[in-house]
Amino acid sequence: MLLLRRKTTHASSMTAALLCFLLAGPVLLVAAGPARDSNNGTVPLVLWHGMGDSCCNPLSMGSIKKMIEEDISGIYVLSLMIGKNVIQDTENGFFMDVNEQVSMVCSQLAQDPKLKGGYNAMGFSQGGQFLRAVAQRCPSPPMKTLISIGGQHQGVYGLPRCPGESSHICDMIRKALNSGAYTDLVQKHLVQAQYWHDPLNDDLYKKHSLFLADINQERTVNETYKKNLQLLEKFVMVKFLQDTVVDPVDTEWFGFLKTGQAKETETLQESVLYKEDRLGLAAMEKAGKLTFLSTPGDHLQFTREWFNENLLPYLR
């Protein structure tokens, strides 16, 4: 069985390799594959990478894109580049306001004629919640199926192991989050702060979170968000059972820590978000639109066999 490489390069060795590739190798500018026949019966696919990765890294997203194109003949795959080149794309995964990124992607998708009939979306790690924001905010062109692979839909409370364990970027992120995740400066300039969810400071989170609190209807119920998300035909969430990167791992299935403490977790179905159906997830589950998948292994570690058996059917 083929073990696929990490897609968001959370291990320090992968990060080092990626940085060497970015600095020493040629910049890859093409994120999408060649034009395809829009009448070939396939549904286009949009990919959004995770923290520390880029649209076109041949060791991660490039390999995923190629694999899907090999398995689904004629499919149009757009791997999102946030910025003008691979270096900007990687940096923006750490430092560009998420709301700006989502707005940028919405504009790009709306201008792509190959997507006008609708598309499926697959997000890796933080790309999962970013694509959900696209579904909630930008219903045209229509997203049909959203597949979140290790996404953090209720945010994170801890970075047990982020890219480059000894890197200054990782250390800086930890210090910034620990000292003031909800300050204006950190919120506006650190991506991970925008989905930092502190259960011990719930009021601060709800008031100052620029991204997550908004898309999760923490301050008020935006009926448009709720309506748009329910337009999805399927919302698939993948959890990694031995995940050492995402804390708590329950967030990959939309669960999280119970408010007011940092030990006990609750499932999506036990949450206020679900019980009050503030986002339409209860209605979606009742309609059979939610799918919860799990796989052994660490963050974004899976085999091609597992991918083909469990995820490829949603793309055909």
DSSP code for 155: -
| Residue of 79, 125, 148, 209 with catalytic role | 125
State yes or no: is 299 an active-site residue.
Answer: yes
**Which of these, 245, 152, 235, 140, lies nearest to 191 by C-alpha position?**
152
Cβ-contact 211, 133 below 8 angstroms: yes
Cβ-contact 90, 54 below 8 angstroms: yes
Cα separations in angstroms, 53 against 16, 22, 25, 285: 11, 11, 15, 32
Helix axes 86-95, 12-24, angle to 10 degrees: 140
What is d(CA 111, CA 129) in angstroms, rounded to the nearest whole number? 22
Count CB-CB contacts under 10 A for residue 200: 12
| Residue of 49, 153, 197, 299 with catalytic role | 299
Is beta strand 256-257 parallel, antiparallel or unpaired with respect to 143-149?
Answer: unpaired
Beta carbons within 8 Å of 57's beta carbon, 6+ residues apart: 9, 18, 21, 49, 86
- Bridge partner list, 32: 78
Cβ-contact 159, 173 below 8 angstroms: yes
Q: Hey, what amino acid is at 133? A: A
Count CB-CB contacts under 10 A for residue 79: 24
| Residue of 89, 243, 250, 298 with catalytic role | 243
Helix (H) or strand (E) holding 143: strand 143-149
Q: Is the peptide bond before 34 cis (omega within 30 degrees of 0)?
A: no
Catalytic residues, by residue number, are 125, 243, 299
